């Protein structure tokens, strides 16, 4: 039995590594993924400060032709991860477009649930097009709840991304009081 169930939506441009990140998180294995068609759905149970949480992870296809699905599937979400590719500037530049899609028909989705900004493919440092400082500033400017870079290939920050957004969803729910972290 879980203490809480949260719907977590992962979105961003196609090819940024969303599905690869989810697969690494769920299985611990790095596997290059094929293009997501529409939406993939996964479940994972984790423990955060003694609170057993069941995450319903919704992985949205990043191609433009599938974006119309996002507003209807985001209903009931408790949190989100916007992912971009650190080697492709346009994938971060498109954040505003994605937030507009999310906000379609809503006052302000960022105020309704926390969204974490995740820079993927951090193992490709030699091909970096987006400085970490720009990622941090972009998260701040768009009122997102945090920022991390990760690598599904090496596993760097994969667990941390999901743990951080889960903590934010717990805090936002007001159901539980988390132990302070130092």
H or E element at residue 75:
none
Ramachandran bin of 41, using left for φ above 0, alpha for ψ from -120 to 50, beta for the remaining angles: beta
Rounded-to-integer distance, Cα 136 and Cα 139, Å: 5
Q: Could you tell me if residue 180 is inside a domain?
A: no
Q: Could you tell me if residue 25 is inside a domain?
A: yes
Q: Which range of residues forms the domain containing residue 154?
A: 4-173
pLDDT of residue 146: 96
Q: Could you tell me if residue 151 is inside a domain?
A: yes
Rounded-to-integer distance, Cα 176 and Cα 66, Å: 35
Q: Could you tell me if residue 178 is inside a domain?
A: no
Q: Could you tell me if residue 179 is inside a domain?
A: no
Q: Could you tell me if residue 105 is inside a domain?
A: yes
pLDDT of residue 107: 47
Sheet holding 39-48, edge to edge: 39-48, 51-60, 4-11, 79-85, 115-120, 146-149
Q: Could you tell me if residue 182 is inside a domain?
A: no
Provide the whole-model pTM.
0.87
User: Considering its fold, how many domains does the chain have in total?
Assistant: 1
Residues found in the chain: 182
Single out the residue of 124, 156, 150 nearest to residue 135, CA to CA.
Answer: 150
CB-count burial class (<10 Å; 0-12, 13-18, 19+) for 50: exposed
Neighbours of 44 (CB within 10 A): 15
pLDDT of residue 111: 53
Partners of 146 in the beta sheet? 116
pLDDT of residue 71: 64
Residue in the block written with tokens 């992870």: 57
Mean pLDDT, contiguous 10-residue spans, the chain (182 residues) = 88 92 90 63 91 92 60 79 96 90 57 89 97 97 96 97 96 75 50
Q: Could you tell me if residue 33 is inside a domain?
A: yes
Residue 83 maps to which CATH number? 3.40.50.300
């Amino acid at each position: 039995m879980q203490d809480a169930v949260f719907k977590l939506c992962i979105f961003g441009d196609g090819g940024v590594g969303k599905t690869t990140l989810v697969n690494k998180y769920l299985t611990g294995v790095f596997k290059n993924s094929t293009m997501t068609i529409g939406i993939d759905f996964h479940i994972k149970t984790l423990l955060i400060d003694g609170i057993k949480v069941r995450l319903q992870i919704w992985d949205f296809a990043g191609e433009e032709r599938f974006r119309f699905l996002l507003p209807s599937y985001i209903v009931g979400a408790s949190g989100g991860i916007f992912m971009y590719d650190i080697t492709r500037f346009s994938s971060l530049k498109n954040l505003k477009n994605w937030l507009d899609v999310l906000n379609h028909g809503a006052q302000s989705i960022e105020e309704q649930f926390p969204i974490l900004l995740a820079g993927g493919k951090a193992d490709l440092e030699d091909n970096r097009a987006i400085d970490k400082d720009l990622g941090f500033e972009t998260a701040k400017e768009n009122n997102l709840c945090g920022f991390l870079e990760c690598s599904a290939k090496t596993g760097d920050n994969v667990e941390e991304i999901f743990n951080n957004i889960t903590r934010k969803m717990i805090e936002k729910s007001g159901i539980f009081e988390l132990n302070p972290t130092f």
